[in-house]
Structure 1
Amino acid sequence: MASNQFVVTSPPTDAISALKFSPEPDSTRIVVSSWDKNVYLYDLRDENGNVGEGKLLHKFEHRAPVLDVCFGADENEIYTASLDWAVRRINASTSEPTVLSHHEAGVKSVVYSKEHSLLISASWDSTLHVHRTNADSEPATIPLPSKPFSLSLTPTKLVVAMASRALHIYDLKSLALLSDEADQPPPNKVEIEPWQRRESSLKFMTRAVACMPNDAGYASSSIEGRVAVEWFDPSPESQARKYAFKCHRQTQDDVDVVYPVNALAFHPVHGTFASGGGDGVVALWDGIAKRRIRQYQKYPASIAALSFSSNGKYLAIAVSPGFEDGKEDVPEGVIKIFVRELGETEAKGKGAK
């Protein structure tokens, strides 16, 4: 194994659903959610301040599998999305959970906007809940045209990728105003027009969406080994720049085997992005130059989630069986979290100075 990569101790015991680095500058904390009904908080630094396999700080038990997790205003605030329909806030210092809202089906995704103090959850009941985290108010409920699969946000926008290849882009300022008016008795369903409605450039079901750190656009991936790169600007010039490409495909016995692209993450400094597939491969891409920068060695199972640290020095890679082979049992020792320490130019784009 490469000397600049290590495995985190005490991984989850069932498939990993999400993994996020703390947004704090130079923090080495990671939060991970799993189908084993737990959320795990790790710090990659040991007692001497050295970054390595790290230690498990806390394990927060839930009543059902946890499908997503994110940090809030600071790294002591954690939000979770669970199959028991609940959206929770966990105080990491006290381990105290608070239920913020209940959807009417499993909660698939949660994202936190620091700029607007908003937590947005997306559920298989085809709604978004918009929670104002700095006020004691009911969340606003926004109906969606179909089931949400993935959420991602920038300082100004929220992208919702849904079934039927639908994408909605919302203006976060409008959502913040909406949640200010949410002090009415529930169910507080509100019809709000998205800033843009789009159809995915990909022909098959969307698996993941990730926004560019410069607020200019987003990448999305599908179950059919493709990634699309698009820009928010609705002008014909910007829309003419959008494109899609094939990836995460392998030739086996002269047959082209196509894998789902499960995970996408943008580098916070260079604006390049990583993709992770059901083939157990992680690749780095320059979306502007339309080139692959590098591809890492094959991991022991499907890539479930990816996250860069806020300073861009580390890439965390969650490896879990993706059941691409049709087998439902999880072999022991397959679930792992790898952390790669990136060289200074490792994630730089081809045209970067």
Structure 2
Amino acid sequence: MSTLFGNAATGAQSNTTGDLSKDVALTSPPEDGISDLAFSPVSEHLAVSSWDKKVRIYEINDQGQSEGKALFEHEAPVLSCCWSPDGTKVVGAGADKAARMLDIGAGATAAQQVAAHDAPIRCCKMITNPSNSAQPLLVTGSWDKTIKYWDLRQAQPIATVECQERVYTMDVKNKLLVIGTADRYINIINLDNPTTFYKTIQSPLKWQTRVVSCFTDATGFAIGSIEGRCAIQYVEDKDSSSNFSFKCHRESPPNNRDISNIYSVNAISFHPVHGTFSTAGSDGTFHFWDKDAKHRLKGYPSVGGTIPCTAFNRNGNIFAYAISYDWSKGYQHNTPQLPIKVMLHPVNQDEVKPRPGQRRR
């Protein structure tokens, strides 16, 4: 077995406390808060979007060393980034109400605007075009309460879908598109019928939705909220008995177990091979979970700052997490002393494998 970042990918850890000692910092990180991380689906390249109005693209080698390869700029903070399915294009979307694309495959050095909304674009995803796989489609979700589908060769969207409220989060896997909005609406779309909601539910969590993330097999999705809870939700009703929620990213002070500090769940990432998943939050910790066994696989100590976003690479042997302010305590807590970095965690397979003997879906 080839090792990653030295010998960290081998050997088992006997308890549920994870090890951060082999984690490597990304070289030349952004200069302001980090909003999104996205790994290429075909290579070891990582896109990072930031409040400093830039999307940066890094190449990562087997030792976890990174090198900046490209960047492009927006006119305001960038809130989301994504890759095309073939790994040749990177898109950023942000507070300038625009999505911009860098065509790496064509050797482009400047980004072109490929989408526009009437309010900031909170999230973007690229999907395979069913009628032309060589021309991916872009999906954007905005605070103008719409999602739009874009053919990158056209100036106008090919379709617009009205949502109930501002779009806060969005994820896609295969034919499943899940959109989380203000007022706790969750819209589910089957991309075979992309302009119609297949199903709309209210989040089973009582407080504001921060993140949705699709299962690896696209049969359902996870929801994270500001109240330190995560929900597991299947698309089809026949699986509703499998739906559940659990508390996470909470802590009790050592001298008073009667109270609990509750933190936002900011990021959920599913492992591409095992289907297990991570949560990360405002408490500065991340954890790996097995949804089918309803069990925490590993929990990690605080990384020294809030975690706004995370991502697994295509093989699941690198877990990237950003450390930067997530605005959970308001603007007055955003001080120049806070860390801004991206860490690369070499994934030990024992950290993310499902528990043996458990039912797998």
TM-score by length of 1: 0.89
Deviates more, 1:259-268 or 1:318-327: 318-327
- Residues 325 and 83 (structure 1), Cα distance of their counterparts in 2 relative to 1, 3 Å cut: closer
Q: Deviations over 1:75-130 (max 9, x none)?
A: 33011111111112112332221212210000000011136432100010001111
Give yes or no for the alignment of 1:52 onto 2:64: yes
Given the alignment, which residue of 229, 233, 243 partners 2:232? 229
Deviates more, 1:338-347 or 1:275-284: 338-347
Q: CA deviation at 1:332?
A: 4.0
Counterpart of 2:96, as a letter, is: D
- Residues 234 and 75 (structure 1), Cα distance of their counterparts in 2 relative to 1, 3 Å cut: same
Give yes or no for the alignment of 1:245 onto 2:246: yes
Q: Distance in 2 between matches of 1:215 and 1:127?
A: 23
Give yes or no for the alignment of 1:265 onto 2:269: yes
Q: Distance in 1 between matches of 2:96 and 2:64?
A: 34
Deviates more, 1:339-348 or 1:272-281: 339-348
Q: Distance in 2 between matches of 1:137 and 1:301?
A: 40
Equivalent residue pairs, number: 328
Given the alignment, which residue of 128, 135, 156 partners 1:138? 156
CA contact (8 A) 2:115 2:155 kept: no
Q: CA deviation at 1:325?
A: 4.3
Q: Distance in 2 between matches of 1:79 and 1:102?
A: 13
More strand by share: 1
What residue in structure 2 maps to residue 114 of structure 1? Answer: 128
Deviates more, 1:94-103 or 1:276-285: 94-103
Deviates more, 1:249-258 or 1:122-131: 249-258
TM-score by length of 2: 0.87
Give yes or no for the alignment of 1:309 onto 2:321: no
Map 1:265-344; keep pairs closer than 5 Å: 265-326=269-330, 327-332=332-337, 334-344=339-349
- Residues 21 and 84 (structure 1), Cα distance of their counterparts in 2 relative to 1, 3 Å cut: same
Given the alignment, which residue of 200, 204, 211 partners 1:197? 200
Q: CA deviation at 1:2?
A: 4.2
Q: CA deviation at 1:65?
A: 0.4
Q: Distance in 2 between matches of 1:347 and 1:164?
A: 33
Q: Distance in 1 between matches of 2:357 and 2:282?
A: 30
Q: Distance in 1 between matches of 2:262 and 2:308?
A: 16
Counterpart of 1:104, as a letter, is: D
> What SS does structure 2 have at the residue aligned with 1:345?
helix
Counterpart of 2:348, as a letter, is: G
Q: Deviations over 1:218-263 (max 9, x none)?
A: 000000000000111122xx11210000000011252310000000
Counterpart of 1:6, as a letter, is: V
Which consecutive unaligned segments of at least 5 residues does structure 2 have?
Answer: 1-18, 131-135
What residue in structure 2 maps to residue 11 of structure 1? Answer: 29
Q: Distance in 2 between matches of 1:86 and 1:2?
A: 37
Which consecutive unaligned segments of at least 5 residues does structure 1 have?
Answer: 176-191
What residue in structure 1 maps to residue 97 of structure 2? Answer: 85
CA contact (8 A) 1:4 1:342 kept: no
Q: Deviations over 1:312-349 (max 9, x none)?
A: 11100111122444433333460110101111322101
Q: Distance in 2 between matches of 1:215 and 1:275?
A: 18
Q: CA deviation at 1:352?
A: 6.2
CA contact (8 A) 2:233 2:240 kept: yes
Given the alignment, which residue of 154, 158, 165 partners 2:184? 165
